[in-house]
Amino acid sequence: MKLALRQRVLVTLAATLVAAAVGLLAGYWAGRTIALRLTASRLSREAALAISEANTYAHDDHAALDAMNTSRYPYCSDEDMEFLHQLLYDSIFLKEIGRIRDNKIACSTTLGREHLSSAELPKPEGTGTDGVKVYRDPLFFRLPNVAVTTLQAGDSYVVLYPYFENFRELSGIQMKTKVISSSQGLSAHPAEKDFRLTQPILTRNSDFRIGDTLYSTRCSSLVINNICITASLSVSEALLANRGEMKAMLALGGTVGGLFGFLVALLHWRNRSLENQLRRAIRKDKLRVVFQPIVNLASGEIVGAEALSRWTDEEGFAVGPDIFVKIAEERGFVGEITRLVVRHVLRDFAETLRTHADFHISINVAAADLGDPRFLPMLEQSLDRAGVSAASVVIEITESSTALHQVAMEAIRHLRRLGHSVHIDDFGTGYSSLSYLHDLSVDAIKIDQSFTRAIGTEAVTVSILPQILAMAETLHLQVIVEGIETSRQAAYFSGGSKSILGQGWLFGRPVPTEEFLHRLRTEDEKAALVATAAA
């Protein structure tokens, strides 16, 4: 049993650990999925915010160009230069403002009117639907490693703030945003050399993943701002940024997995509990019925046998009847064991009982059986089908069963009316008294083996035996002595005037049907030889 307990502990621990490992793996993938979805949502929000700023940016740019082209001040005059400086001061998105004449800069807020380059403006890279020309990195205004965009409308131009396309910070995550060309607007100048995204993906509202990088593109709906902005973040950066969620899902997955494994193991062992195993054994007819001989102590002749149930559980351990019968009694299905024993007895001994009128089989009946209205009809019908008389089947009830006095009395009377002999098993350990035995109207008592073992010792129970025997003689009860293991114990009971029956290892251990019937045939053959010789 200790080995079985250790095995259960190890199996439960293993199941818990395996389930916890599976839970951790599931937690990791759940955390990863959540982290990537959160990142995708943040990228989408980042791109949308960037587009919103870009629209504001575009309104500011175009408003500045409109104001310059409708200015009432003379072209590049002092008043005009002051006006241009004021426009630049009021804008947070412009870096430079100026005038153009003959495709050359005439004046600007940075170069003034005296230090102008004579170089002509390059060919614009694109023209918007509103006629605004777009220049990228013009020679007259360049910054190292920074892309600069210039817009021209009429004879006015503005240079956009060059750091709009750099990094943005949102919810503690650094996400890279890029200004990407749409089919109608700016050309694309991504920072990474290996940026190989296709044009259709970059020019429509979409969330996508290529390789180990997540992208979210949002495009402006304004005519004056035909750009798309893509925010991106690598998977490793996304997982690192959401490490709190990852840790939480790992802990949750491991905990839930471990608990699940533990509960599954508990349910498994519960399903393999003695009660459930016993129920399955009864249902599948896996209980064995063995038979121990009952002999006449005076002659040594076998006069009967007691049917005893035996059970080996699903783990191969023999479980004593004192354990599994008690479980069945407590759980309310002991009657199923009784029906199984009756079925086995009548299946294996029907012919023997029909041909040996002086031979009987004793069957143990629980207190619950006595109160079960289905028990007596079942017993009677089973005997009728087998063609066995009720006198051939003795009913043994434990002394404790008689505590339910009225129920026991009615059941015993009914059994005796059917023709059964009724014996009180384990006599001397419970409730019976002289008057009580008289009321019960039983046919015999079986003296408990605790009294038999006391023979030859100084135990107090030895002094009670003569009183029990005297009481049985007074009530004209047959006496069967249990637990006889020595010749001395057998001799103690065989010297009286009344014939006493005995049962115990001295006469034979409980054995399967085939072995018992073989012994019975051998006894019959010996008796026949003796009878022949005497004749």
**What span, in angstroms and rounded, lies between the C-alpha atoms of 484 and 301?**
15
Confidence at 258, pLDDT banded by 50, 70, 90: low
How many angstroms from the chain centroid is the CA of residue 127?
A: 66
Distances (CA, A) of 327 to 125, 319, 363, 430, 516: 92, 11, 19, 20, 29
pTM higher than 0.75 = no
Find where tokens 């114990």 sit.
489
Q: What is the pLDDT of residues 401-427, one digit of tens each?
A: 655 567 778 888 899 999 999 998 888
Confidence at 82, pLDDT banded by 50, 70, 90: very high
**Residue 81 scores a pLDDT above 50:** yes
Dihedral, 35, 37, 41, 43 alpha carbons, nearest 10: 70
**Per-residue tokens: 310:** 């035996």
Confidence at 285, pLDDT banded by 50, 70, 90: very high
**What span, in angstroms and rounded, lies between the C-alpha atoms of 268 and 262?**
10
Q: Which is it for strands 302-312 and 318-319: parallel, antiparallel or unpaired?
A: antiparallel
pLDDT of residue 214: 83
**Residue 4 scores a pLDDT above 80:** no
pLDDT of residue 179: 46
**Residue 238 scores a pLDDT above 60:** yes
Better-predicted residue by pLDDT, 36 or 155: 155
Confidence at 349, pLDDT banded by 50, 70, 90: very high
- Region 322-332: mean pLDDT is 89
Answer yes or no: are the C-beta atoms of 436 and 426 closer than 8 Å. no
Domains in the chain with CATH codes: 14-271 (no CATH), 274-526 (3.20.20.450)
Please state, for a pLDDT cut of 90, what percent of the chain lies above it: 29
Distances (CA, A) of 15 to 253, 259, 264, 469: 15, 10, 8, 60
Choose among 97, 14, 109, 40: nearest CA to 63.
97
**What span, in angstroms and rounded, lies between the C-alpha atoms of 338 and 325?**
10
pLDDT of residue 94: 85
**Residue 115 scores a pLDDT above 70:** no
63-71 long-range CB contacts below 8 Å, 24 or more apart? 64/91, 64/94, 64/97, 64/158, 65/132, 65/151, 65/153, 65/154, 65/156, 65/157, 65/158, 66/153, 68/97, 68/99, 68/154, 68/156, 69/153, 69/154, 69/155, 69/156
**What span, in angstroms and rounded, lies between the C-alpha atoms of 87 and 97?**
8
**What span, in angstroms and rounded, lies between the C-alpha atoms of 156 and 101?**
9
Q: What is the pLDDT of residues 24-70, one digit of tens each?
A: 777 777 777 877 888 888 888 888 887 787 777 778 888 899 999 99
Q: What is the pLDDT of residues 475-518, one digit of tens each?
A: 889 999 999 999 999 988 886 667 899 999 999 999 999 999 99
pLDDT of residue 471: 86
Q: What are the phi and psi torsion angles at 204 (to 5°)? A: -150, 155
82-86, 333-337, 450-454: which range is least confident on average? 450-454
- Region 309-324: mean pLDDT is 88
Confidence at 383, pLDDT banded by 50, 70, 90: very high
**What span, in angstroms and rounded, lies between the C-alpha atoms of 288 and 291?**
10
pLDDT of residue 174: 42
pLDDT of residue 36: 80
Confidence at 262, pLDDT banded by 50, 70, 90: low
- Region 99-114: mean pLDDT is 84
pLDDT of residue 195: 43
Q: What is the pLDDT of residues 178-225, one digit of tens each?
A: 444 433 333 333 333 334 444 555 667 888 888 888 888 888 776 566
Mean pLDDT of the chain: 79
